[in-house]
Structure 1
């Protein structure tokens, strides 16, 4: 497996910048997810790494050796796309063997590689079936197996689960992660689904408008987003944002609400946006000091069975809170919600950058 390094990478399409100053290092055997909204450049970046798109400037290196001028076939990279692209007239065994035949590998070596992939992906009972006789998840495993038999230096997966139903996505991503760990593959995985990225990756690179805005472990991204974009993109439901002005040890919102700041709050600008995740807001306020409460009106309730998402309006701002109780307030009800000041995220209202620590410096932090 390869170590992949991208340095100062830029890509233009007809004079339009689609990738800007990409600097990224993927360790050998690492699972890295590229996430971001549609059009952010994540699939283009994957194609650049594979050699399917030329770069405008910068460099791509595998194990310290530049590969910028090498064609895709010389890079020994395997790609898996949204579409399985299996040959419908060929059985699974022949689909797996096709690329190996094209490269002139002898029959014995082809059989060995197919046997290894079939065992790893539990495809042995399916080798004599045609793709039409397979489920969506089984077809995706065959597509993975076809990449795996090439014994590539790295695997590039471009939203491979987007065509599967919700339940099948869960089981297939578990299979992908288990396989990656067992075989120690270097894997780069693009998705717009932040749940997939969080559950699969060792690290996540968040992209926006052709740039990488933060690279971190899933938990660090969730707990210490570098800016408002990352904070709003990572997490479902999305983080709540409340604009306000700092005065002494509190933030005063335009709607009249006062949010008490945590002890030891760092200095920063006067114009601030407070971020609060839905699970850090509560209707149970008995143990919450008055400075950490907000008066609100219930606007909408979504009962999801195991939990409910309650949408309220507080101080002119719409907020979502995650509630795990069975008793739910009626729409239009006046409620008081509480929050833990230690869970506040603070952002500069002008730059949208995070105020305060970018990562947890506490020992054994939970």
Structure 2
């Protein structure tokens, strides 16, 4: 296929990391059954970690991040896919230690790809991306745990971020009463436009960390931040409530105790979208294209090309981005 453009993260002479737009050759891509021309990707927090040299995410540099990609099959060595098929790839090793969606071409195992559902365009799929898939998995987990719209208010933490904003929109669509927590109180109008009925400043969720239990407030929650905020949410769940946990921007550890679990029967539900079996991913994408299809996705989106990606990466690391960043691969 020849030459293509990609964002590459590389280590400088002084050990600092930088991102540059470089020309690559498809012959440099790893082995795999599918060669895909990427049309769209999206920016996730994990991409920013990879792009800034976090070796817990990416071990070898130079590297092209991008855990999401949507595009068209150019070459296939398996019967399940043919040239011209439109596909979605999220997670697995894409963009971590395998060259990812911030390049115009990727080569991957066929087991990582699903065919685009008819109800979603490639662009819409990447407006959602891993963040949208994760939000849907969180809501699905809450439903499986018995949290229904009539059970009471649902809290979403980190609500202005990618996962949080999609979670707010999806929960509202499904009839839930949503409270949105954020450290960006100036974004309250954005969250209300998504349908949030209440804005909860992040500081309120940081209070009472020394107490073993807090006042019952939430029938359920989607937590995207982790840390001690997560356990404060656990401590304030109503009897039998559940929180789906999928993020760590507030930290990995938290101080916990067993009292909310044995006195209120609450549930802490872990959500992973990376190594999830492909059949589960495919069923969730089908849901997002049909009964869970979200209208008005454009209000969530900032669209950038490769040249604007480094600036967006710096902003997401600084906690300055709202909603989703769509990456256009011209």
Fold conserved between structures, TM > 0.5: no
What is the TM-score of this pair, normalised by structure 2?
0.31
Greater relative contact order (Cα < 8 A, sep 6+):
2
TM-score, normalised by the number of residues in structure 1: 0.28
Q: Which structure has the greater CA radius of gyration?
A: 1
